[in-house]
Structure 1
Amino acid sequence: MSERQPRWTQTWLGGTRSAGIDLGYPGERLGLPKEGPGAVAGFGRRIGAILVDWLICTWAIARGVFQAGPQDASWIGMAVFAAAYVLLVGTLGMTLGMRLFKFRIANLDGSQPGLFAVLVRTLLLCLAVPALIWDRDQRGLHDRAAGTIAVRI
């Protein structure tokens, strides 16, 4: 008798890896290394960086510079976050939070993303939901739409 097949609920609930299918490491099918510079930046690094950037934009700039109250700090903070993100990622490829967590945003070929890609990525990142839906290469919908990826430096 042949090997026992997994139940369909195992693959549906646990994903393809639970069925014993090897999908490789994140970024392998994109030609990226498994570890070190150029490898896909993990979820922890990305969350840490966005928290740092959000705190800087909301607390330091919106509340400190613009003297925004609690109700206004959220939308002013979001506007400052989007502006800083477009400016910094569009020119340097990274924000302060990304620099602290040692990764940058790049096109799939490793080059600096263009202004249109950064604008699309920023808009979708500010909506939050596209950034929370990931593929097997740990690229959110915002990365896929912009043709970018977060890679370690």
Structure 2
Amino acid sequence: MGSWLSGPRAAAEQMGVEFGYRGERLGLPEEGPGSIAPVGRRIAALFIDWLLCVLIAYAFIAHRHVQAAENWALAVFGVVAYIGIALVGATPGKLLLRLRVVRADGGRLGPGAALLRTVLLVLVIPAVVWDRDTRGLHDKAAKAVQIRI
């Protein structure tokens, strides 16, 4: 009963399986710059980006209709995310929280990979399904990882 309540990872660790730290399989350091970005900071960056996009949509596109601003905010979010990731590897929220999206080998994401990642991020579901390194399916599909800078 205890292993069921603790979850599959705890049960596997009790049987002697060692998972290592997040990012070890990718050759990333455990802590500091270049390590996998913490989930809390990634979610906070997402909220900053979303708030910025809602404000942009309301101020410039749909300032007369609040409900229209919510619809346009997703489109603005997609554009901001794509441009930010393709050009500098980060959105405004990620820059504020000192995070960056890079290829798993450490290089910059190309425009195609940035577009694939953005489309999957806007679809939401791939972004909330993670592996043991806390990489969402949108990052895995683009062969990307979010790191601390």
Q: Could you say whether these structures have the same fold, taking a TM-score greater than 0.5 normalized by the shorter chain as the test?
A: yes
Aligned to 1:3: none
Larger radius of gyration: 1
Q: Residue 52 of structure 1: CA displacement? A: 0.2
**31-40 or 69-78: which moved more?**
69-78
Name the SS of the counterpart of 2:135 in structure 1.
coil
Aligned to 2:18: 22
Deviations 1:87-108 (A, max 9, x none): 1110010011001111100001
Give the Cα–Cα distance (whole angstroms) in 2 for the partners of residues 117 and 14 of structure 1: 33
Give the Cα–Cα distance (whole angstroms) in 2 for the partners of residues 119 and 82 of structure 1: 9
Structure 1 length-normalised TM: 0.89
Give the counterpart of 1:64 among 52, 56, 59.
59
Name the SS of the counterpart of 2:100 in structure 1.
strand
Percent identity reads 43
- Give the partner amino acid of 1:63: Y
Name the SS of the counterpart of 2:72 in structure 1.
helix
Q: Residue 16 of structure 1: CA displacement? A: 2.5
Give the counterpart of 1:48 among 41, 44, 50.
44
Q: Residue 70 of structure 1: CA displacement? A: 2.0
Runs of 4+ displaced beyond 3 Å: none
* Partners of 1:17 and 1:23 within 8 A in 2: no
Aligned residues: 145
Q: Where do 5+ consecutive residues of structure 1 fail to align?
A: 1-6
CA RMSD of aligned residues (A): 1.6
Structure 2 length-normalised TM: 0.91
